[in-house]
Structure 1
């Protein structure tokens, strides 16, 4: 599969899919961002893509994002659908700073993967579910 990509910045490394290493691809800040604790910012990621029909991208923080930068993704997970593919549709990363922080151009701040859309289905309303109860939300323990 080939995916058309537009770079909005020449200051970030080009994206690479490393087959066999990870299903996730790092995204980088395309701008220098200085945030104070409590600040919100849409950080430019410097790329836009034309995803194939029937596919979408999931954007999430890297495992080191909070440790390194003290930021949280405000929408928990980003979904980029195939229709967000216009010439000016640059991907961005919405963050909330939990401490004062500095993000430099080209810092790896999040990651994405491309997946197929969910198969279609219908809901069937029932009076009761027949499987064994697991004890409710959060009941599987800590171990």
Structure 2
């Protein structure tokens, strides 16, 4: 699939995969931002993308930043609809209790994963079948440990 993108700033980087076959394309910062403990900021990537109709982009945290520094996304996953053409921005939060983390220009701050997004028509009914696994309305924690 070909996904067009536009650099909005000269220092912006194209979304790239670290390894062939990776699901996520790294998104990089175009600005330096200190994130104090508990702080959050909307980090600019300097790019816009044209996600094809029938797809959506999910913006996910980078596991290394999360584990080593407590840096993650406020709204993980973030959703980019196919019609959005504005700058991709990543809402980061610093969960570390004592260390300030500095986002640097060119730093990989998140991953973009493209997924199919189907069309649906929602029809109101009086009742639903129990579902293929028989779980019915069992929700959080219903499958045990």
TM-score (norm 1): 0.80
Matches within 5 A, 1:109-120: 109-120=109-120
Q: How far is the alpha carbon of 1:12 from its aligned partner?
A: 4.3
Asked whether the equivalents of residues 29 and 105 of structure 1 are also in contact (C-alpha less than 8 Å), the reply is: yes
User: 1:140 is matched with which residue: 136, 140, 143?
Assistant: 143
Question: Contact conserved, 1:69 with 1:102, CA < 8 A, in 2?
Answer: no
Residues 27-106 of structure 1: pairs in structure 2 closer than 5 A: 27-85=27-85, 89-99=86-96, 100-106=100-106
Alignment match, 2:5: 5
Q: Alpha-carbon deviations, 1:95-139, whole Å to 9, x = none? A: 222232111111111101122222314345344643533854213
Unaligned runs of 5+ in 1: none
Please say if residues 45 and 90 of structure 1, whose CA atoms lie closer than 8 Å, have aligned partners that are also in contact: yes
**Structure 2 length-normalised TM:** 0.79
Aligned residues: 139
Measure the CA separation in 2 of the matches of 1:117 and 1:12: 27
- Tell me if the contact between 1:62 and 1:111 (Cα under 8 Å) persists in the aligned partners: yes
User: Matched residue of 1:64: which SS?
Assistant: helix
The runs of at least 4 aligned residues of structure 1 exceeding 4 Å deviation read: 17-20
SS of residue paired to 1:114: strand
Q: Would you say the 8 A contact 1:69–1:103 is kept in 2?
A: no
